Amino acid sequence: MDSPDQYAVMGNPIAHSKSPRIHRQFAEQTGQQIEYRALRVDEGDFEQALEHFFKQGKGLNITVPFKQRAWQLSGRLSERAQLAGAVNTLWMEGGVLVGDNTDGCGLVTDLVQNQRLLINAKRVLLLGAGGAARGVLQPLLAEGPAKLVVANRTLARAQELVELFSPFGVVEASSFEALRGAFDLIINATSASLEGEVPPLPPGVVAGHTHCYDMMYGAEPTAFNRWAKSKGAKDCIDGLGMLVEQAAEAFYLWRGVRPDTQPVLAALRAEMGQT
């Protein structure tokens, strides 16, 4: 019997990664012979680790802090990776390292298909102007929101993103304090929840019809989602669905088979004590 094709996720830290469990479940479900591991890579060893892996390995997921470096090292980039300025999925094609970014696709799939949320013609607020925000902007704009506002502590960083993405839809920049009026959908792409903090948002951005989405997730509701609930948001969603959906897109790119994400997501939620 042939040995299974090798896949992995590279990052630092990596012990917490759910990617091996997710991809093993995808493989079992679709009958694909793969082995998927989590590889912790020291900051100075990333290029060497890539080279070593692809001597026999088939595909990699890339996570913090290597997404920008993977982008720079890719010999060919998908359009969405080019715009995102970061890569989370790699494979070799004809001796060329190909980079893609499935984060935005994962977010939109979770919002539209899993949560049944319409983005078209809605007022959308994206919090943060770092790599996480940049990675999802183009797929969000492709859904045709009435307006998408990028809000950031440093206004200049939000303005840079607006300049880059304005060809794709109606997008504006704002500081947190200058935000006015309620939004239909607020997406937290800052890392504030990791520190148990919430961006300093003015009252009134959340109303009874507002859906709030934090890209972070955990066994307990994130700081942002707790805040949103206290302000009367219609619902508060964490980023676990995004994680599973971006993984499914990577699996499809590598194997040409699209797994069913629902049982995998349900199993992860049960593991985390969520229903």
Q: Is 154 annotated as a binding residue?
A: yes
Domain match, 229 and 106 both? yes
**Total domains in the fold of the chain:** 2
Q: What is the per-residue pLDDT for 1?
A: 60
DSSP 92-119: EETTEEEEE--HHHHHHHIIIIIS----
Domain match, 62 and 32 both? yes
Domain match, 86 and 112 both? no
Provide the domain limits for residue 13: 3-99
Q: What is the per-residue pLDDT for 193?
A: 81
Q: Is 19 annotated as a binding residue?
A: yes
Domain match, 106 and 87 both? no
Domain match, 219 and 114 both? yes
* Cα 89 from Cα 180, distance rounded (Å): 37
* Cα 144 from Cα 35, distance rounded (Å): 39
Q: What is the per-residue pLDDT for 203?
A: 85
Q: Is 222 helix (H, G, I), strand (E, B) or coil?
A: coil
Angle among Cα 117, 259, 118 to the nearest 5 degrees reads 10
| Residue 21 belongs to a domain | yes
Helical spans, DSSP H, in the chain: 19-30, 46-53, 67-73, 79-84, 103-109, 131-142, 155-165, 223-230, 240-255, 261-271
Domain match, 29 and 51 both? yes
- Residue ending a domain, among 99, 123, 139, is 99
Q: What is the per-residue pLDDT for 123?
A: 98
Active site residue 67: yes
Indicate which residue of 67, 122, 229, 231 is catalytic.
67
User: Beta-carbon neighbour count of residue 200 at 10 Å?
Assistant: 10
Q: What is the CATH number of the domain that holds 19?
A: 3.40.50.10860
Domain match, 74 and 135 both? no
Angle among Cα 142, 148, 150 to the nearest 5 degrees reads 120
Q: What is the CATH number of the domain that holds 211?
A: 3.40.50.720
Domain match, 138 and 211 both? yes
Q: Is 128 annotated as a binding residue?
A: yes
Q: What is the per-residue pLDDT for 239?
A: 96
| Residue 116 belongs to a domain | yes
Q: What is the per-residue pLDDT for 275?
A: 60
Which burial class, exposed, middle or buried, applies to 139 when counting CB atoms under 10 A from its CB (0-12, 13-18, 19+)? Answer: buried
Q: Is 51 helix (H, G, I), strand (E, B) or coil?
A: helix
Domain match, 134 and 152 both? yes
What parts of the chain have a pLDDT lower than 50?
none
Q: Is 246 annotated as a binding residue?
A: yes
- Residue ending a domain, among 99, 119, 150, is 99
* Cα 224 from Cα 208, distance rounded (Å): 16
| Residue 244 belongs to a domain | no
Q: Which two tokens stand for residue 67?
A: 């997404």
Domain match, 106 and 234 both? yes
Domain match, 182 and 87 both? no
Q: Is 130 annotated as a binding residue?
A: yes
- Residue ending a domain, among 55, 82, 99, is 99
| Residue 44 belongs to a domain | yes
* Cα 222 from Cα 215, distance rounded (Å): 10
| Residues shown for the chain | 275
| Residue 88 belongs to a domain | yes
Domain match, 111 and 72 both? no
Q: Which residue in the block uniquely carries the two structure tokens 């994680």? A: 243
Q: Which two tokens stand for residue 264?
A: 């995998």
Q: What is the per-residue pLDDT for 218?
A: 87
Q: Is 109 annotated as a binding residue?
A: no
Q: What is the per-residue pLDDT for 194?
A: 78
